[in-house]
Amino acid sequence: MTTVHDTPSTVPANCPPLEQAVVRFIQELKYEHLDAPAHAGVSRLMRDQIALQIGISKMPWSAQLLKYATSQQRPGKSRVSASTLTMSAADAAFVNGSYGHGFEYDDAHGPSYSHPGSCVIPAALAIGEELGSSLEEVITAMVAGYEVYARLGVLAQPDLLQRGFHPHCTLSNFGAAAVTARLRGFDAETTLHALAIALSHVSGTTEYTSTGGSIKRIHAGIGTRNGMAAADMARAGITGPRAFLSGNKGFFRTLLQRPAGEAPEQRFALDRPFEIGTVWLKAYCACYCTHAYIDALRPFAERRAEIADVHLKITPHFNVVVGTANANAYEPKNIEHVQFSLPIQAAFTLLGMGNGYPVHRDYLAGKVEMAPVIAMARSIRITEEPALERQYPGRFVADVTVTFKDGRSEHVFVEDPIGTDRNPMPEHEQDAKFMELTGDTLGAARAQKLLATLREMDPSMKAAELTNMWTAEH
Residue of 356, 447, 429, 474 whose CA lies nearest to 54: 447
Per-residue pLDDT at 87: 96
Q: Which residues are CB-neighbours of 299 under 8 A, at least 6 positions away?
A: none
Per-residue pLDDT at 471: 85
Euclidean distance between CA atoms 133 and 461, whole angstroms: 9
- pLDDT higher than threshold 70 for residue 6: no
Structural domains present in the chain: 4-278 (1.10.4100.10), 288-414 (3.30.1330.120)
Q: What is the pTM of this model?
A: 0.94
Q: Which residues are CB-neighbours of 78 under 8 A, at least 6 positions away?
A: 86, 87, 88, 89, 91, 92, 93, 125, 126, 127, 129, 130, 467
- pLDDT higher than threshold 60 for residue 2: no
Per-residue pLDDT at 108: 94
Euclidean distance between CA atoms 200 and 223, whole angstroms: 11
Per-residue pLDDT at 393: 86
Percent of the chain with pLDDT over 90: 92
- pLDDT higher than threshold 80 for residue 265: yes
pLDDT, tens only, 111-148: 998 999 999 999 999 999 999 999 999 999 999 999 99
pLDDT, tens only, 173-210: 999 999 999 999 999 999 999 999 999 999 999 999 88
pLDDT, tens only, 309-341: 999 999 998 998 999 988 899 999 999 999 999
pLDDT, tens only, 33-50: 999 999 999 999 999 999
The model's confidence at residue 232, banded by pLDDT at 50, 70 and 90, is: very high
**Interval 139-159 mean pLDDT:** 97
**Interval 227-255 mean pLDDT:** 98
Which whole-number Å values give the CA distances from 81 to 86, 103, 464, in the listed order?
A: 9, 15, 12
| Concatenated DSSP letters of 227-255 | HHHHHHHHHTT----TTTTTSTTSHIIII
Average pLDDT, the chain: 95
pLDDT, tens only, 74-108: 999 999 999 999 999 999 999 999 999 999 999 99
Per-residue pLDDT at 473: 54
Percent of the chain with pLDDT over 70: 98
Per-residue pLDDT at 322: 95
| Concatenated DSSP letters of 180-206 | HHHHTT--HHHHHHHHHHHHTT---BS
E strand or H helix at 472: none
382 beta partners: 312
Range list of β-strands (E), 291-392: 307-314, 380-384
The model's confidence at residue 5, banded by pLDDT at 50, 70 and 90, is: very low
